[in-house]
Structure 1
Amino acid sequence: MSSTNSSRVKTIFRTKTNKALDKLEDPRDTLDDSYDQQVKLLQQVRQAVAEVATAKKRIELQGQEMGARFQKLGAQAAEALAQGREDLARAALERRAMLEGQVANLQKQYSSLEQQTAQLQDRERRLTDQVAAFRIEKETIKATYTASEAQVRANEAVSGISSTIEDVGSSLDRARDRVAEMQARAAATNELLASGALADLTAAPDADIERQLASLSANADINRQLQAMRDGTAASGASPADRRLDGPDGWLAIGKA
């Protein structure tokens, strides 16, 4: 294998390898994967916000129930005291005091959930903005990469066409040289055959003598025609043979003088 062919094979192999690697490491796929992961994280944050909001709502409803009971116990204590049942009033107030401690704990949980909700909502907003910005940048990079890839393919196609045209031009030059060489050889062999330097194996025996005699006979005939033309011109201005060529059927008389 010549060095040119070897270099061409190496170039083709390297090109195919690079294309395979580019396919495996396509940045567009990597960007899409990163975007999908960010979207999943955003969904998880939003789910956490919803869960915390749900827990906060439960505590709020429970607090409302406990508040209503707290007020009811206060009203019962006042009514019992008005009816002279200090024991019932004391029992209502004791339950009210116990309920007040439970409400205090519930208020702490509610306050904590409010802080968590605010933090998660802030994180969700910031993450939403980041994902949106990443999506815009991702699409921009993908579009730029696709355009660059198309330009590379176009350039490679142009380069391939140029190489092909150069190969075709070299082939045409070689073909022209071969044609010129064969034409020169054909002319040379014709001259050699005509001169007798080469023997024409397809010719009949003694064909060279016949060819020379035919040449002498043709020369003698041309000389006779010249002499007849001289005599005819001197006498009447045109030979009888030339006069027979006049008319639409004159060509039938050619060679029959």
Structure 2
Amino acid sequence: MSFTSRLRVILRSKSDRALTRLEDPREALDDSYEQQLKMLQQVRHGLAEVATAKKRIELLGQEMGGRYRRLADQAQEAVNQGRDDLARTALERRSLLEGQVAGIREQYLALVQQQSQLQENERRLTERIAVFRTEKETMKATYAASQARVKANEGTAGLGSEITDAGAGLDRARDRVAQMRARAAATDELLSSGALHDVTAAPDSDLERQLSAGATKADVDRQLQAMKDVRTGDGGRGTGSGSDTRAGTDARGGSGSWLSIGEGPTAL
């Protein structure tokens, strides 16, 4: 992979992470919290450095204070011994040391002020971070609860991707079933009309089906003509003969009269 390709991959991953953080506020809250912790760490590091410098000057001042007292004692001892020259040298060195102590005293007081200010800043920042952390966790919990509620509501209303896919599959299944039913009905009609040939049927079964239909029609016509002839032969004698015929039929057959259906002449 070339350098340009690697750079493109890195930039794309960073942009994806940035977009993810923008989409999820919890990521932004955690990032802000981490930045504040880094600021607090920097303040504490600076406070430690100032305290260290102040302590170093304090130790130097204590050392110079001890020397200042020794020079005073040496000057007094030289006077006692009548060595004014030595006393003068000690006093000159003591006077020079006073100037040096005055210089480091100003630095020490400045560091004391800086340390006090940094301590106050550290205290305020610590309190602010603690408050922010509480608010952050509360907001994250609220967001998580709202997100779970949205998912639950979407699932109940069928707005989720899984429910939507299931609904689409059900619609496709319904369409498929309706299409298959329509196709079955159409093929039945085509088979009945003879437009399609049943490959599983016996040879010449279509002729037999048509002949059977013709025979049934002829039988119906004969029965209709017989009914008309009987009506004409009765000559308006009423319904008594018909009633006797039906009664006789019932008497002959009784409850098993249905067994004779289709075995002989049709009983009218």
Q: Aligning the two structures, in what range does the TM-score lie when normalised by the shorter sequence?
A: 0.5 to 0.7
* Alignment partner, residue 135 of structure 1: 133
The code of the aligned residue for 1:53 comes to A
Of 203, 206, 219, which residue of structure 2 is paired with 1:203?
A: 206
Q: Which residue of the partner structure matches residue 88 of structure 1?
A: 86
Letter of the aligned partner of 2:63 in structure 1? Answer: E
1:230, distance to aligned residue in structure 2 (A): 4.1
| Cross-structure match for 1:159 | 159
Tell me what 1:63 maps to. Answer: 61
The residue number in structure 2 matching 1:32 is 30
Once the two structures are TM-superposed, the CA of residue 128 in structure 1 deviates from its matched residue by: 0.8
Structure 2: how far apart are the matches of 1:136 and 1:166? 45
Gaps of 5+ in 1: 1-19, 194-200, 220-225, 242-257
Task: Among all aligned residue pairs of Structure 1 and Structure 2, give the percentage whose two residues are the same amino acid.
Answer: 48
Q: Secondary structure at the match of 2:78?
A: helix
Aligned match of 1:13: none
SS at match of 2:101: helix
Q: Aligned-residue CA RMSD in angstroms?
A: 4.3
| Counterpart among 90, 97, 100 of residue 99 in structure 1 | 97
Relative to structure 1, is the Cα distance of residues 184 and 215 closer, same or farther in structure 2, using a 3 angstrom cutoff? farther
Question: Relative to structure 1, is the Cα distance of residues 155 and 89 closer, same or farther in structure 2, using a 3 angstrom cutoff?
Answer: same
- 2:20 alignment partner, one of 15, 19, 23: 23
When structure 1 is superposed on structure 2, of 152-161 and 166-175 the one drifting more is 166-175
Structure 1 residue 63, shift from structure 2 partner: 0.6
Please give the secondary structure, in 2, of the residue aligned with 1:203: helix
Change in 2 beyond 3 A, CA 1:166/1:47: closer
Over 3 Å counting, the alpha-carbon distance change for 1:65 and 1:147 in structure 2 is same
Q: 1:147: how far off? A: 1.9
Q: Matches of 2:21 and 2:218 in 1, distance apart?
A: 83
- Alpha-carbon spacing, 1:116–1:231, altered in 2? closer, same or farther (3 Å): closer
Kindly provide the CA deviation profile for residues 5-36 of structure 1, in whole angstroms up to 9, marking residues without a partner as x: xxxxxxxxxxxxxxx99735122221111111
| Matched position secondary structure for 2:103 | helix
Query: Which amino acid in structure 2 is aligned with residue 36 of structure 1?
Result: E
Deviation at 1:166, TM superposition (A): 8.5
Distance 2:87 2:18 in 1: 85
SS at match of 2:122: helix
* Residue aligned with 2:205, SS: coil
Structure 2 runs not aligned, ≥5 long: 1-16, 195-203, 224-246, 260-268
Query: Could you say what secondary structure the match of 1:141 adopts?
Result: helix
The 2-side partners of 1:232 and 1:30 are apart by 95
